[in-house]
Amino acid sequence: MKLALLLSLLPAAACLSAPAATVAQSGKIYTFAKSAASMAEASTLMPGGVSSPVRAFKSVGGGPIVFDRVKGARAWDVDGNEYLDYVGTWGPAIIGHADDGVLKRISETAAKGTSFGAPSVLENDLARLIIDAVPGVEMVRFTNSGTEACMGMLRLARAFTGREKIVKFEGCYHGHADSFLVQAGSGVATLGLPDSPGVPDGATRSTLCAQYGNLESVEKLLRENEVAAVIIEPVVGNSGFIRPEKEFLQGLRDLTTKYGALLVFDEVMTGFRVAYGCAQSYFGVTPDITTLGKVVGGGLPVGAYGASREIMEMVAPAGPMYQAGTLSGNPLAMAAGIETLKRLKADPNNYTELERKSKKLVDGILEAGKKHGHAVCGGVAGGMFGFFFCEGPVKSFSDAEKADAAKFGRWHRMMLERGIYLAPSTYEAGFMSLVHTDADIDQTLAVANEVMALL
Ligand SMILES: *Cc1c(COP(=O)(O)O)cnc(C)c1O
Ligand SMILES: CC(=O)N[C@H]1CO[C@H](CO)[C@@H](O)[C@@H]1O
């Protein structure tokens, strides 16, 4: 996904595995013959052998792991290797992979048919759960992916304000729609040029880029342009993990109000991940429009965008802004989302626990790194975490670019060979689940110590 468009094209970090003989305690070093064979075939059938770029491991080097099955906090590959998984299918597996309750609900629902193309009561149920939980959402529209949700959100922001320009932030990802494929270069607030061939200049001419954490860069753009919306990841997960200051998000709220622009939180990743009320309740700043995805689908394809009743009634057929989807609101996807949200809601301690465990993991990794002389920094928000190989603190994409990506690549492969599955890029976040135990984290930290010593 995201930056992968650019970053996956960078030369792969050198990352041959350490010879088995140098490994102290853990004993077993995984090998990946069947994954390699499957990927060799896949690359003749699909571009890069994958259905989404980041899965190709281009920015860490080494071949991707081909999964066979997942359960709870664990994944198994086609070679039979078992992993503790901190990717969790990029966030959705927050109550654990293949949860029995979710599977039961999906199979009961499937027995009644897999797609209606007509309204179902399940849509009401998931919509109500979302509206009750998310401060900025009074009505919601379901889509099939986060990308689609962001496309709908963009059209809605423009339709509602009658303005065309948008402000996004360097390093933030909002799906693969043309208008968002702009990272901009260095420096403050540049007019964006497309990141990918095939994106017409016209599609990005209205996309302005500001610097994360830098309110002045935003105000300058708002002052000089008629801006429809300022769109942000309220906690960044797509330039690695970056936690904002509350004052920055509050500043965006004040500035957008002052200049008549809408504030959009793209909570596709952070929604129901950093808190049950999403990042907007975690930080106490309410946006005008919210996009959701990942966790709200409980592992099935779902996206959503929501806002006040007044804004949402712009959307067809209530209003004139067109957006549609044959499989949108699909009963299986709704069922998985409902079951997942109900489980998260059942216990307010769930998010406290997620954050405690994320912090235990990140603190342990930083300690292991420092003990063995590596510059590392990192942080957490609820069930989301991340770390970089640099002194830090990392507060923006340009800070993140200073991290040692080659070292991350070697670390990633060595963790993988010892049964720890981390996101395959320094520009990705990590995800904790309710079913990761303290023993799982202790085991992860033992491996992390071993690998930091070898790095
Ligand atoms: C994942 C993600 C998207 C895109 O969602 P897809 O379901 O992959 O299309 C958009 N915005 C953010 C913040 C994301 O993390
Ligand atoms: C800490 C924790 O995991 N708490 C709970 C989260 O919610 C579920 C309900 O589905 C409880 O069973 C967990 O104990």
Average pLDDT over residues 416-429: 95
Answer yes or no: are the C-beta atoms of 200 and 182 closer than 8 Å: no
Instruction: Kindly report, residue by residue over 267-324, the tens digit of the pLDDT.
Output: 999 999 999 999 999 999 999 999 999 999 999 999 999 999 999 999 999 999 999 9
CA of 234 to the centre of ligand 2 (A): 26
Binned at pLDDT 50, 70 and 90, residue 13 comes out as: very low
Ligand 2 in reach of 75 Cβ (< 6 A)? no
Q: Taking the domains of the chain in order of start, what are their residue ranges?
A: 3-86+349-454, 100-346
Instruction: Kindly report, residue by residue over 213-260, the tens digit of the pLDDT.
Output: 999 999 999 999 999 999 999 999 999 999 999 999 999 999 999 999
CA of 85 to the centre of ligand 2 (A): 19
- Of the listed ligands, the closest to the CA of 293 is 1
Nearest to 354 by CA among 437, 420, 428, 240: 437
| Strand residues in 3-123 grouped as ranges (E) | 67-71, 74-77, 82-85
Angle between helices 349-371 and 438-454 (to 10 degrees): 20
Identity of residue 300: L
- Of the listed ligands, the closest to the CA of 384 is 1
Ligand 2 in reach of 442 Cβ (< 6 A)? no
Residue 82 CB contacts under 8 Å (≥ 6 apart), including other chains:
74, 75, 76, 419
Decide: helix, strand or coil at residue 165: strand
Mean pLDDT, rounded, of the chain: 92
As a whole number of angstroms, the distance between CA 253 and CA 262 comes to 9
CA 129 to chain centre: 21
Q: Which CATH number does the domain 3-86+349-454 belong to among 1.10.10.10, 3.90.1200.10, 3.40.710.10, 3.90.1150.10?
A: 3.90.1150.10
Looking at residue 449, its pLDDT comes to 98
Angle, alpha carbons 251-255-395 (nearest 5°): 40
Looking at residue 26, its pLDDT comes to 54
Identity of residue 265: F
pLDDT of residue 17 exceeding 60: no
Ligand 1 in reach of 174 Cβ (< 6 A)? yes
Identity of residue 261: A
CA of 346 to the centre of ligand 2 (A): 7
Answer yes or no: are the C-beta atoms of 302 and 293 closer than 8 Å: yes
As a whole number of angstroms, the distance between CA 449 and CA 105 comes to 40
Write the DSSP symbol of residue 187: S
Nearest Cα residue to atom 10 of ligand 2: 343
pLDDT of residue 404 exceeding 60: yes
Nearest Cα residue to atom 2 of ligand 2: 350
Residue 153 CB contacts under 8 Å (≥ 6 apart), including other chains:
231, 264, 266, 289, 291, 305
- Report the percentage of the chain scoring pLDDT > 90: 86
CATH 3.40.640.10 fits 100-346, yes or no: yes
Looking at residue 14, its pLDDT comes to 35
Write the DSSP symbol of residue 390: S
Instruction: Kindly report, residue by residue over 132-189, the tens digit of the pLDDT.
Output: 999 999 999 999 999 999 999 999 999 999 999 999 999 999 999 999 988 633 332 3
As a whole number of angstroms, the distance between CA 289 and CA 234 comes to 12
The greatest distance separating any two alpha carbons of the chain, rounded to the nearest whole angstrom, comes to: 67
Instruction: Kindly report, residue by residue over 90-135, the tens digit of the pLDDT.
Output: 999 999 999 999 999 999 999 999 999 999 999 999 999 999 999 9
Name the strand (E) or helix (H) holding 166. Answer: strand 165-169
The answer for 247, left when phi > 0, alpha when psi is -120 to 50, beta otherwise, is alpha
